[in-house]
A and B are shown apart, each in its own frame.
Chain A
Amino acid sequence: GAVVSQHPSWVICKSGTSVKIECRSLDFQATTMFWYRQFPKQSLMLMATSNEGSKATYEQGVEKDKFLINHASLTLSTLTVTSAHPEDSSFYICSAGLAGGRGNIQYFGAGTRLSVL
């Protein structure tokens, strides 16, 4: 149980285009989803916290107009990288927390590798 699916796993796009990444909790409801960014050989950095039906909360330094997050249902959150540029190339990982769960257990997707040419 507690599977999180992230799609696509890898995307290459041209500079200036927008890319949408989906994060789905397959067998549980997630009131809260998180988006992280991981640079090569570095740690994961929290970008934003997404609660179902409300606006996402962004971490300091993360441009909310650049990284649009939508959490329309208890099983789906999307991250759209708008007008992507080469510096946005990175590994993006989402996680989902169990609704009503204790201990802040998060289940992670397999990640999306974004390469912007």
Chain B
Amino acid sequence: AQSVTQLGSHVSVSEGALVLLRCNYSSSVPPYLFWYVQYPNQGLQLLLKYTTGATLVKGINGFEAEFKKSETSFHLTKPSAHMSDAAEYFCAVSGSGGGADGLTFGKGTHLIIQP
């Protein structure tokens, strides 16, 4: 069984400030971890993923996340927020069995960028 907890349904930061979106997961098997972004009335776009190897992963739009097994965390960061980053962000987990597995999503964090 797997689960994802995203702390904070809403996060507000000033433009140019650090963005930190928190994600903790629970998984009985080695996980694959993902961050997706959703803009209003659109589908999900993959920001980045962790499968194996380097625990610090870089994604699109300047985002990165670090897999910390000891803390069961996969927090998303961006050094400097931009107005276009305002969106809903979802953390997700799946098994790493090699096949295609459905994703278990967190409840999402709405990122608000203050001018």
- Measured CB to CB, the residues of A under 8 A from B are 4, 6, 31-32, 34, 36, 41-46, 49, 59, 93, 95, 97, 101-111, 113
Contacts and interface: CB of A to CB of B under 8 A. Distances in A.
Contacts of A104: 32, 51, 94-96, 99-101, 103
B100 A111 contact: no
Contact of B100 (A31, A93, A109, A110): A31
Consensus secondary structure, chain B interface: loop
B6 to A, nearest CB: 9
Given A103-B51, A104-B32, A46 B46 contact: no
Given A93-B44, A111-B43, A106 B106 contact: no
A97 B32 CA distance: 14
A105 B49 contact: yes
Nearest to B108: A43
Interface string B87-114: 0001000111011111111111000000
Nearest to A10: B41
Contacts of B49: 103, 105
B104 A46 contact: yes
A41 B107 CA distance: 8
Interface residues of B, number: 25
A111 to B, nearest CB: 5
A111 B33 CA distance: 22
Nearest to A111: B43
B106 A43 contact: yes
B42 interface: yes
A45 B107 CA distance: 10
B45 interface: yes
Contacts of A41: 108
Nearest to A4: B43
B29 to A, nearest CB: 12
Contacts of A46: 102-104
A44 B32 contact: no
A109 B42 CA distance: 8
